[in-house]
Amino acid sequence: MAHPFISRPFSCLTLLLGSVFSPGAFAVADTTAVDTQDVSVSPPALMLAKYWQSGVDPAAFLVSEKLDGVRAFWDGHTLRSRSGRRIAAPDWFTSALPATALDGELWLGRGSFDRLSGMARRNTPVDAEWRELRYMIFDLPGASDTFALRVQRLNQVVANARQPWLQVVVQQRVPDAAALQALLQQTVQNGGEGLVLHRTNALWSPGRSDVLLKLKPMPDEEARVVAHLPGRGRNQGRMGALLLEMSNGQRFALGTGFADAQRADPPPVGSLVTYRYRDRTPKGLPRFASFLRVRAPE
Amino acid at 65: E
Q: In this structure, which amino acid lies at residue 7?
A: S
CA atoms within 13 A on the CB side of 271: 14
| Interatomic CA distance for residues 154 and 170, integer angstroms | 11
Closest CA to 191 of 17, 51, 68: 68
Interatomic CA distance for residues 178 and 198, integer angstroms: 18
Which helix (H) or strand (E) segment holds residue 243: the answer is: strand 239-245
The identity of residue 231, as a single letter, is: G
**CA dist., res. 70 & res. 21, Å (int):** 5
The active-site residue, picked from 66, 214, 216, 283, is 66
SS3 291: strand
Determine how many CB atoms are found less than 10 A away from the CB of residue 113: 21
Q: Quick check: is 66 catalytic?
A: yes
For residue 148, give the nearest of 76, 204, 206 by alpha carbon.
204
Strand arrangement of the beta sheet that strand 272-276 belongs to: 251-254, 239-245, 220-230, 272-276, 290-294
For the annotated catalytic residues, the residue numbers are 66
